[in-house]
């Protein structure tokens, strides 16, 4: 019988995500590094948050963290996620996926609305994702784009208030740190 301990779940999800993002030819934006670097960073934020949070389902959250971009960035389907990782994980990854049919300026708020219907671990993955992404922006980003990115991070932090105290304070600090790039 397959064991469902954290290591097993982690290995299964990271291998699945690695194969999918690799097959899609996706790299860490602006680099030639594997996209897996981003997913590992998000997973690490979640592991640390889990050890700093009461009643946190790390087994669930770690799978969602590793798989969070598979629907948005690779040809993975919801059915495939459901079959491989179960219904709860598939629904969570769906909530974290922007609806490509919506106008650009509605995609974020629509996703945040769907995330807010999910368990707090899913909110936490969204915070961890933005914490990870708030790094030195690519040189070609102009100040408008940088400001917009910071503003968006603030919207995420506000919309997901109450998600996870540890990650909320991490994101708040990252937003302040990001000001040096504007």
Range 161-182 burial, b when 16+ CB lie within 10 A, else e: eebbebbbebbeebbeebeeee
Residue 74: phi and psi, rounded to 5, are: -135, 170
Q: How far is the CB of 142 from Ni ion (least distance, A)?
A: 22
Nearest residue to Ni ion, by Cβ distance, number only:
129
Selected catalytic residue, list 72, 80, 82, 110 = 72
95 to 154, contacts with Ni ion by CB under 5 A?
A: 129
Among 111, 135, 128, 129, which residue's Cα sits nearest to residue 166? 128
By CB under 5 A, the count of residues binding Ni ion is: 2
Choice from 69, 70, 92, 118 touching Ni ion (CB under 5 A):
69
Decide if 57 is catalytic: no
Nearer to Ni ion, 8 or 85 (CB): 85
Decide if 73 is catalytic: yes
Q: How far is the CB of 79 from Ni ion (least distance, A)?
A: 22
Q: What is the DSSP string of 46-59?
A: HHHHHHTSTT--HH
Interacting residues with Ni ion (CB under 5 A) = 69, 129
């Amino acid at each position: 019988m397959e064991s469902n301990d954290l290591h097993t779940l982690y290995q299964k999800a990271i291998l699945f995500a690695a194969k999918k993002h690799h097959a899609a030819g996706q790299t860490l934006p602006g680099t030639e590094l594997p996209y897996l670097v981003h997913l590992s960073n998000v997973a690490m934020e979640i592991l640390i948050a889990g050890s700093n949070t009461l009643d946190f389902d790390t087994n669930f959250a770690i799978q969602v963290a590793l798989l969070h971009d598979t629907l948005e960035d690779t040809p993975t389907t919801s059915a495939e996620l459901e079959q491989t990782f179960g219904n709860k994980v598939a629904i969570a990854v769906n909530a974290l996926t922007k609806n490509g049919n919506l106008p650009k300026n509605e995609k974020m708020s629509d996703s945040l609305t769907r995330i807010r219907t999910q368990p707090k671990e899913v909110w936490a993955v969204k915070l961890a994702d933005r914490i990870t992404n708030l790094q030195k922006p690519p040189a070609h980003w102009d100040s408008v784009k940088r400001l917009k990115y910071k503003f968006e991070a603030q919207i995420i932090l506000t919309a997901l208030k109450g998600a996870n105290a540890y990650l909320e304070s991490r994101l708040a600090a990252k937003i302040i740190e990001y000001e040096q790039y504007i």
